[in-house]
Structure formats: C-alpha cells, structure tokens
C-alpha cells in the first residue's frame, strides 16, 4: 500500500464537497442523527460538510493513526477514544471517514460503536463491506490523494519538516 504506486487518483476540493453533499442527501433519509463522529484526520473535512448539510451540531472525534509515514500501514493506535457517542454503542450516530481502504480502522471503530452508521465518501473493495453508506468506489491498488494532502504534488506535513 504505497502511495508511490503508478495508479493514483487526485481528488479536488470541489469533488470532495460535491461527493460529501451527495453523501448528506443519502444520509438525510436515514436520520435523524444525534451527532457525528469524525475519524481523524481524514473524516474531519467530510464531517464539517455533513454537519452543515444535515444541521448537526454535536461532533466528536475518534483519533486513530494507522499510516506511520503516509505510505505504509503499520498497525492501529487509538490516540483518543470516542466520548459522546459511546452510550448505546453509537446508536443514532454517524461515523464519518474520507476513505475506507483495507478496513482496519473501520473494523476497530465498529468494535467501539457497533450500532453507529458508518459512512465514507470513498471505499476500496477490501473495506467496502464495513461501510453502511458510501459514494464512490476506488480500486484497491489506487492511492487517493485528497486536496488537503497536496499542492499540485504531495508535500510533507509541517510537523515533519526539518
């Protein structure tokens, strides 16, 4: 799972916004929702868009790290568990991420919130069965570049600069 793969998909801010709004349209029919749990960091931008579109004010995060250097998955680490949604296993809550890839993160979050509705903007085949609602399917061997990861090319986060 290296992002240096020749197969890559760059997603623009406009595409993320359009697809997140389409996700909101689909989720509106399945609500009402008590709140949103954003999986950090990828779920933060979609969560903000969904919160606006669905008029949801209560937002929590589950802070998970799985990509040690943005290129290889090195195992999951929960940096901050979910607080607000943990009652009733997440019943009535939306869990949001930008992409489900191998499903590792989704599987872990589902054990914490088994009754929550898990939604992503994009899904790869291995992770797709773990989502309840998704918008776009992406081949497993394609690396997705989100607009917050790119200028025109991949740039390291400021925290990693020397």
149 is annotated as an active-site residue: no
Q: Choose the catalytic residue: 19, 60, 101, 149.
A: 101
At 142, is the secondary structure helix, strand, or coil? coil
Of 97, 132, 141, 149, the catalytic one is 97
Residue 67, token pair as written in the block: 């990509």
Q: Provide the residue count of the chain.
A: 162
CA distances from 19 to 15, 53, 59 (A): 6, 12, 20
Q: Which of 19, 60, 98, 149 is catalytic?
A: 98
How is residue 32 written in tokens? Answer: 């009402």
Residue 98: active-site member: yes
Span between the terminal Cα atoms of the chain, in Å:
26
Contact between 132 and 116 (Cβ < 8 Å): no
- Furthest-apart CA pair in the chain: how many Å? 48
Residues involved in catalysis: 97-98, 101
């Amino acid at each position: 799972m290296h992002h240096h793969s020749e197969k890559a998909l760059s997603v623009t801010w406009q595409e993320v916004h359009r697809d997140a709004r389409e996700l909101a349209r689909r989720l509106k029919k399945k609500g009402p929702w008590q709140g949103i749990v954003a999986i950090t960091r990828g779920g933060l931008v979609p969560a903000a868009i969904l919160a606006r579109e669905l008029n949801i004010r209560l937002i929590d995060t589950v802070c998970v790290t799985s990509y040690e250097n943005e290129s290889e998955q090195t195992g999951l680490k929960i940096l901050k568990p979910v607080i607000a949604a943990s009652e009733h296993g997440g019943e009535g809550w939306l869990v949001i991420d930008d992409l489900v890839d191998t499903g590792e993160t989704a599987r872990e979050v589902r054990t914490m919130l088994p009754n929550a509705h898990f939604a992503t903007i994009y899904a790869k085949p291995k992770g797709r069965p773990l989502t309840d609602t998704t918008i776009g399917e992406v081949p497993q061997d394609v690396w997705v570049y989100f607009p917050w990861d790119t200028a025109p090319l991949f740039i390291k986060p400021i925290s990693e600069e020397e």
